[in-house]
Amino acid sequence: MSNGVGAPARLIEWLGESEADPSRVGGKAASLIRLARSGFRIPPGSCLTVDAFGAQVARLPGSERLSDDPAALLDAPTRTALVDAMLRGPLSPAIAAALVSPLGRLSREAPGLNGEPAQLALRSSGVAEDGAIAVVVQARPITNLEARA
């Protein structure tokens, strides 16, 4: 998998240790990265990049239509079909493998109380969150997830 310029795709970026490029990680993650690099404390975490989104979408039926014409996401039935297919899964093996290290790191850096697994939150976001296509990946935050090393 490549990012189009010959380098391997980076599917996950650890907040505070990567470039704050909103076109790759979205505005909220980019803001957290900038805050961390400016010395502010942020909760430990990582984010999936647009390369990860692309890798997952590429596994879906009809993905070639989106590659040829990303504006197809402006069509409500197309968006609905994409969201439904993403929710049905399965997760791309490359993304699943890439998540192992960050989840292990989170379980070490933000351990649970009294030996319990860490309690995590998952927040959906997008690189064009305020645009017409943003609804594709928007969802309510999921909290109380457990990270097990």
- The two tokens of residue 3 are 């990012």
For residue 132, what pLDDT is reported?
46
pLDDT-based confidence at residue 72 (cuts at 50, 70, 90): confident
Strand 118-122 vs strand 46-48: parallel, antiparallel, or unpaired?
unpaired
Average pLDDT estimate for 24-49:
89
Q: Please, what is the average pLDDT of the chain?
A: 76
pLDDT bin (cut points 50, 70, 90) of residue 126 is low
**Per-residue pLDDT tens digits for 73-108:** 778 888 788 888 888 878 888 888 888 888 888 878
Using pLDDT thresholds of 50, 70 and 90, give the confidence band for residue 8: low
Could you tell me the two tokens for 34?
Answer: 């900038």
AA identity, residue 4: G
pTM over 0.85: no
Instruction: Report the alpha-carbon distance of residue 93 to residue 138 in Å, rounded.
Output: 22
Domains of the chain: 12-147 (3.30.1490.20)
Q: Give the helix ranges, DSSP H, for the chain.
A: 22-25, 27-37, 50-58, 63-68, 76-88, 93-109
**Contact predicate 47/12, CB 8 Å:** yes
Rounded Cα gap, residues 19 and 141, in angstroms: 24
Of residues 63 and 123, the one with the higher pLDDT is: 63
What distance lies between CA 119 and its chain's CA centroid?
18
CA distance linking residue 15 with residue 109, whole number of Å? 13
Instruction: Give the percent of the chain with pLDDT over 90.
Output: 6
